[in-house]
Amino acid sequence: MKALVLADRLGKELLPLTKKTCVALLPVASKPVLQYAIESLVNSGIREIIFVISADAESVEQTFGTGTRWGVNFNYILSRGEEHPYDIIKQFNENEEYLVLRGDILSNEIISKVCNQDTPKSKLDDFCWTKETYINKLDSLKSFHQTNLDVIAGKFDKLLVPGRELALGLKIGRKSQISPQSLKQGIAFVGSNCRVHPQAELLDKVVISDNVIVDRAAIIESSVILPNTYIGEFVEIKNAIVWSNDLIRVDIDTTLHISDTFLLADLETQTIGKSIAQPVNRLLGLMLMILSLPLWLLAPIAALFSNEKNMLKKNELEGNRLQFDDFGNRKRRVFTAWTWNTSIPILRYLPYLWSTLTGDLRIVGVMPLTPTQSEQRVEDWARVRDEAPIGLIGPSQLNLPSNVPIEEKLMSDAFYARQRSTTKDFSYLWQGLAALFSRKAWLM
């Protein structure tokens, strides 16, 4: 008997996921949905499978080929999308029986009908649904999210989930790097060629597909991370689907496209420099801390000669640690920055170097704002600066007097954010180092 597998759903209900690929190729626990149907059929002894495909037909054929990988024969039929199986079967001249099933849903067992071209249309209307087995129709983003979590939880116990057990509750694919300590509670699946920072945390149920990077101190809870996605430092993801720059909160039915590549990024379009920028930044910060040790001896002496009561002053600033609030909106975490109570600029801001080691500041970037200054921005142009990291030095810090209006500093930062590049950042770094030996840095 031949199998006729319907995989021609247009997937409008799964946008924006189906902007990238068709429903049949959407990954569930790092395997395309359609592959689970193929494996079930092969294990049942079917040796000839005909696929009905529509959207991304070429990608489906390239992914599965002629069937030699499974030792069976594949053929493909194009459709207009979501055609009734009756109309498709009627295209065949032969009066042969077919095992007809949907390949773009997920079920514990093969759910199908045995049909031929003479089978009445009424007999096919509900051929792929049944109450006797565990099934998910993948007919919404929330359904897709839950299906991924259910697969790793073992609810689809007859499906073949790839990977090996690294620790209790943690299964990983080939060439992936993750510490078992990252799984704080629950269960997790990590696909192939992934890198999860040892300080990242996985909570409840987490599915991470192939080719994903999760950076330091990121927290992922009850979420699905799809292929080629970068999760930035200190980012918190909860009850969501993430695919490259798209964040989909399934609990509040909200979809956000994140343009800040320090938060979320598409690894197919972003260079590896994004993933190594923070370690390089910390190394530079450590080098500057070591070189500045003599200044740490001068700073408290200078503070003693000031008329201030305290030697150190506390400041609350917004830094580079990023998180999402309960409504899926991005916000920067507030950190405490200290300054010496002295009028000598190079000594006053010396403690800011420590913030480059914690990740709150980068060496080069826009100037840090207080939470009040950030909230008072109402114009769109004033928020353009958020596309760049917060830095110790930058065009505003180097070129503008400290007493200019905040609007002028925001304008300078916005221009830098839109024009920034690695070459320009190195230029500002060189200017900052040169400024250490200028009269401006040491004037009282």
Domain end: 211, 231, 266, which one? 266
Q: For residue 189, what are the domain limits?
A: 162-266
Note whether residue 139 is domain-resident. no
The stretch 90-96 carries a mean pLDDT of: 70
Are 95 and 17 within one domain? yes
Domain end: 249, 266, 283, which one? 266
Are 363 and 298 within one domain? yes
Assign 437 a pLDDT band (cuts: 50, 70, 90): confident
pLDDT at residue 107 above 50?
yes
The 10s digit of each residue's pLDDT in 309-362 is: 788 889 999 988 766 655 555 577 889 999 988 888 888 889 999 988 888 898
Residue carrying structure tokens 């509750």: 169
Are 434 and 312 within one domain? yes
Note whether residue 339 is domain-resident. yes
Note whether residue 150 is domain-resident. no
Note whether residue 367 is domain-resident. yes
Angle between helices 273-291 and 293-304 (to 10 degrees): 60
pLDDT at residue 108 above 80?
no
- The angle at the Cα of 424, spanning 423 to 427, to the nearest 5 degrees, equals 95
Mean pLDDT of the chain: 86
Q: What is the pLDDT of residue 383?
A: 83
Note whether residue 65 is domain-resident. yes
The structure tokens listed for 216 are 């330091």
pLDDT at residue 239 above 50?
yes
Query: For residue 78, what are the contacts with CB-CB under 8 A and spacing of at least 6?
Result: 53, 54, 57
* Distances 411 to 318, 362, 372, 374, 432 between C-alpha atoms, Å: 18, 20, 18, 14, 20
Are 262 and 321 within one domain? no
What CATH number is attached to the domain comprising 28?
3.90.550.10
Contact present, 198 and 184 (Cβ < 8 Å): no
Q: How far apart are CA 186 and CA 295, in angstroms?
A: 48
What CATH number is attached to the domain comprising 197?
2.160.10
Residue 208, beta-bridge partner list: 190, 225
Backbone phi, then psi, for 437, in 5-degree steps?
A: -105, 15
Contact present, 151 and 29 (Cβ < 8 Å): yes
Are 391 and 311 within one domain? yes
The 10s digit of each residue's pLDDT in 265-316 is: 888 765 444 445 667 777 888 888 888 888 888 888 888 887 777 888 899 9
Are 290 and 248 within one domain? no
Contact present, 50 and 4 (Cβ < 8 Å): yes
Min mean pLDDT across 215-229, 267-281, 371-385 is at: 267-281
pLDDT at residue 203 above 90?
yes
Radius of gyration over every alpha carbon of the chain, rounded to an integer in angstroms? 28
Q: Would you give the DSSP letter of residue 367?
A: P
The 10s digit of each residue's pLDDT in 72-89 is: 999 999 988 888 777 787
pLDDT at residue 233 above 50?
yes
Beta strands in 302-395, from DSSP E residues, in sequence order: 312-324, 330-340, 362-364, 391-393
Q: How far apart are CA 284 and CA 357, in angstroms?
A: 9
Are 58 and 96 within one domain? yes
Q: What is the pLDDT of residue 278?
A: 66
Phi-psi region of 418 (alpha: psi -120 to 50; beta: other; left: phi over 0): alpha
Note whether residue 287 is domain-resident. yes
Backbone phi, then psi, for 364, in 5-degree steps?
A: -120, 135
* Count of structural domains within the chain: 3
Q: How far apart are CA 119 and CA 86, in angstroms?
A: 8
How many other CB atoms are there within 10 angstroms of residue 324's CB atom?
A: 19
21 CB-side CA count, 13 A: 19
Note whether residue 321 is domain-resident. yes
Q: In this structure, are strands 254-257 and 201-208 parallel, antiparallel, or unpaired?
A: unpaired
Are 180 and 242 within one domain? yes
Are 309 and 414 within one domain? yes
pLDDT at residue 389 above 50?
yes
Are 277 and 421 within one domain? yes
Min mean pLDDT across 146-150, 231-235, 273-277 is at: 273-277
Which element (helix H / strand E) includes 35?
helix 33-43
Amino acid at 192: S
The 10s digit of each residue's pLDDT in 411-432 is: 999 889 888 888 888 889 899 8
Note whether residue 83 is domain-resident. yes
Domain end: 241, 266, 291, which one? 266
The 10s digit of each residue's pLDDT in 31-74 is: 999 999 999 899 888 999 999 998 788 899 999 999 999 999 99
pTM of the model: 0.65
Q: How far apart are CA 112 and CA 127, in angstroms?
A: 6
pLDDT at residue 90 above 80?
no
Are 31 and 66 within one domain? yes
Are 106 and 189 within one domain? no
Provide, rounded to the nearest whole percent, the portion of the chain with pLDDT above 70. 89
